[in-house]
Structure 1
């Protein structure tokens, strides 16, 4: 479960940035192609924040859909999994979104 390590990194970064102030909420953007399970991340967040400045904070997760661009036909299309295949049949595909994993914002008290 890599969500534990990812969430630990998020909490560490947020608490450092908060400089001892209580963290009320954290918003993260998670790409659909990262294989991060939002419910698992929420569960880990609740465990990891205990005893930190982020204890009791709300975790808001924005999912970013996957998308790709074909280098053969220049078509753009949705990607729902890691199978990189253009509708034209080409496998020469560039991922344009869906791999994001970032802290978007946080609210402190």
Structure 2
């Protein structure tokens, strides 16, 4: 389960960026070809962040589909898996991958003094929560 090692790295990044401030949410973007299970990442985050400066923080994951550009016909195709590298336009297999392998911390939402969420810096407005966290983004 490499999700645990990934969470340890994410934890170190967030801890440095938060500089001692309480964190409510951490948003990550995961490429669909990265072979990371969002629910496992969320479960590992709960274990990794249980103590210390990030205790009580939650992890939200946005899965980004991979895109391929066909070298034969120039069509853009959504790539569902590494086993399915076929152009949706011509059926060719000579694709250049564009995205789908990223793993990025895109936002950290700080907690305010009353325990609610304060506005944080966001890279974008769409970040579905993994495992039904139930909170909504503010921006």
Asked whether the two chains share a fold, i.e. TM above 0.5, the reply is yes
Aligned residues: 109
Match for 2:99 among 82, 97, 100? 97
In structure 1, what is the equivalent of residue 65 of structure 2? 65
Any stretches of 5+ residues in structure 1 without a counterpart?
A: none
Q: Is residue 25 from structure 1 mapped to residue 25 from structure 2 by the alignment?
A: yes
In structure 1, what is the equivalent of residue 45 of structure 2? 45
Of 42-51 and 93-102, deviating more is 93-102
CA distance in structure 2 between the aligned counterparts of 1:38 and 1:54, rounded to whole angstroms: 19
Greater percentage in strand: 1
Whose relative contact order is higher, 1 or 2, with alpha carbons under 8 Å and at least 6 apart?
Answer: 1
In structure 2, what is the equivalent of residue 108 of structure 1? 110
Q: Please report the TM-score for the alignment, with normalisation by the length of structure 1.
A: 0.92
Any stretches of 5+ residues in structure 2 without a counterpart?
A: 112-139
Alpha-carbon contact 1:15-1:52 (below 8 Å) kept: no
Q: Deviations over 1:5-46 (max 9, x none)?
A: 111100110011111111111001111111100000001000
